[in-house]
Amino acid sequence: MDKNRLQRQLDMKRSLIDQGYLDEQFIQLEELQDEDSPNFVEDMVTMFYNNSARLLENIEQALVTGPIDFPKLDDYMHQFKGSSSSIGATRVKNECTRFLEHCTAGNAEGCVRTFLRVKQEHAILRTKLETYFQLARQAGSSASGGAKAR
């Protein structure tokens, strides 16, 4: 195990949390990681991104297609928000909340605007997490979860 690399991984994690990209849930995922599922966190993140692409697509379609169906949008976004909460994607979640506010208010423009923000945060986080997992791998499998090393 490369101590430096481990340290880098931990530092990055700390930074992601401090900046609000990730929250407690992410830590919890790490704690769930064990011998049975050594790559649990990364697996979950991957699963999230795979699934969320579809959800975002649904939202986008609902936004661009004909008159906006706000209740439906609300449903879709709730689904997406719920999904984001699974990996602790805080910033993404927050943007979702803003979107939902506009949605409830029936504000189409606000929805479109906040939706773009949601997509943006979603993409930014993905990049960061990719880097993070790379560091984790480099730091050695035992430290990849970082469960012990908070």
Give the footprint of other proteins on this chain (CB under 8 A).
23-25, 28-29, 31-32, 37, 40, 43-44, 47-48, 51, 75, 78-79, 81-83, 85-88, 93
> Which residues, 6 or more positions from 146, have their beta carbon under 8 angstroms from its beta carbon?
9, 10, 13, 30, 136
In the complex, what is the shortest distance from the CB of residue 58 to other proteins, in angstroms, rounded to a whole number? 10
In the complex, what is the shortest distance from the CB of residue 15 to other proteins, in angstroms, rounded to a whole number? 20
Would you say 138 and 2 are in contact if contact means Cβ atoms under 8 Å apart? Answer: yes
Residue 32 or 68 having the CB closest to other proteins: 32
Rounded CA gap, 91 and 98, in Å?
Answer: 11
Residue 2 or 69 having the CB closest to other proteins: 69
In the complex, what is the shortest distance from the CB of residue 68 to other proteins, in angstroms, rounded to a whole number? 19
